[in-house]
Structure 1
C-alpha cells in the first residue's frame, strides 16, 4: 500500500525541502508543486516528492485519522 503523508516543511534549499512529522524527518523534492511552499507549510510527501500543499487544519485532521487507522492495525 502506498501512502502520502502530511508533513511540515522545516527548511528549504532550492527545490528540496526537509519535512518533519512526529520527530521523523524526510527530504522531499518540491519540483512537482506549482504553488509556492514556505517553511512552516504542510505538504503531502510520497516517494520523496511533495505532491500537494495543504492547510494546517486539513493536515492535522488527516494525521489524526491516519494515527487512528494505523493504531487499530497495530492491535490486530
Structure 2
C-alpha cells in the first residue's frame, strides 16, 4: 500500500515539474511559446528516457538494492 502511495506522489511531482516548466515558458512571451514549449517537452522526455536507461543498468548491475530509493526501503 505504501509503495502505491509513493508511486502516486512521484507521478504528481513529475506532473508538477512539467507544469512549472511550461508556466515559465509561457511567461517568456508569445513569440517563442511554441518553440520553447517543444524544447521543454523534448527535454522532459529525454530526461525520462535517460533515467529509465540508468535505472535499467543499475538493476542489471546490482539488483533492486542498487535501484531503490533509501527512504523507501522496506515499503514493498
TM over 0.5: no
Q: Which has the higher strand share?
A: 1
TM-score, normalization by structure 2: 0.32
TM-score, normalization by structure 1: 0.32
Q: Which has the higher helix share?
A: 2
